[in-house]
Amino acid sequence: MHDQTKPDLAQDPRRKAILKAAFEAFCSYGFRRTSMEDIARGAGMSRAALYLHYRNKEDIFRSLAQFYYDDAAAQIESVLSRDLPLQETLAQAFAAQSGQIFEALLSSPHGNELLDTKYASSADIAQAGEARLVGIYAGWLQQAAATGRITLAVSGGDATALANTMMAALHGLKAPRPSPDSYSAAMRLLAHVFARAITTG
């Protein structure tokens, strides 16, 4: 598979246009009903030109999954590096993790199909991506605990266990599939709960 990462997209705007067109088509028609012709038309190119970049729509979907995790990792790291109140740090990190992509999935009538497709066709990318995000959260938690900003007593001092719990809780908010507004509200509530749990004193 020719999975494309975020740096590759920055170097080749045609690939970025293809992924944007593909995501819009998947949200509008669903994965199964979207054709390479639909994606090519949306990207403003011929189908033959599209095949020069991607072998099929599964290949494109895998690139979208990789792009999501690369972007989420960068956005979360950016939020966690800021000097914000603890609850706001978590709320913004959770929102950055979901990003515009997940908001679009919640708004799409084909959201469930696309999420199922993600784990069916891109399970390896999802597994590596989830582990990467857990590592980012765990590193931040460990550093914050070392400076006395937070306490890890709730997880017995295990930052990775707490990061995994945070990720599991975020995923739990997605079922049954909520509206974008209710999901956002639930994320902020979750941030409040975790912030209270790790606040010192």
CA atoms of 103 and 101, how far apart (whole Å):
5
CA atoms of 39 and 23, how far apart (whole Å):
9
Task: Name every residue whose Cβ is closer than 8 Å to that of residue 21 and which is 6 or more positions away in sequence.
Answer: 39, 40, 41, 42, 43, 44
Look at residues 64, 127, 128 and name the one whose alpha carbon lies nearest to residue 99.
64
Judge contact between 190 and 169, C-beta under 8 A. Answer: yes
Per-residue pLDDT at 192? 97
Domains and CATH numbers, the chain: 61-198 (1.10.357)
**pTM, whole model, 2 decimals?**
0.88
H or E element in which residue 14 lies:
helix 13-29
Averaged pLDDT in 10-residue chunks for the chain of 201 residues? 44 88 95 96 97 96 93 96 96 91 83 83 94 98 97 97 96 82 93 96 74
Per-residue pLDDT at 5? 39
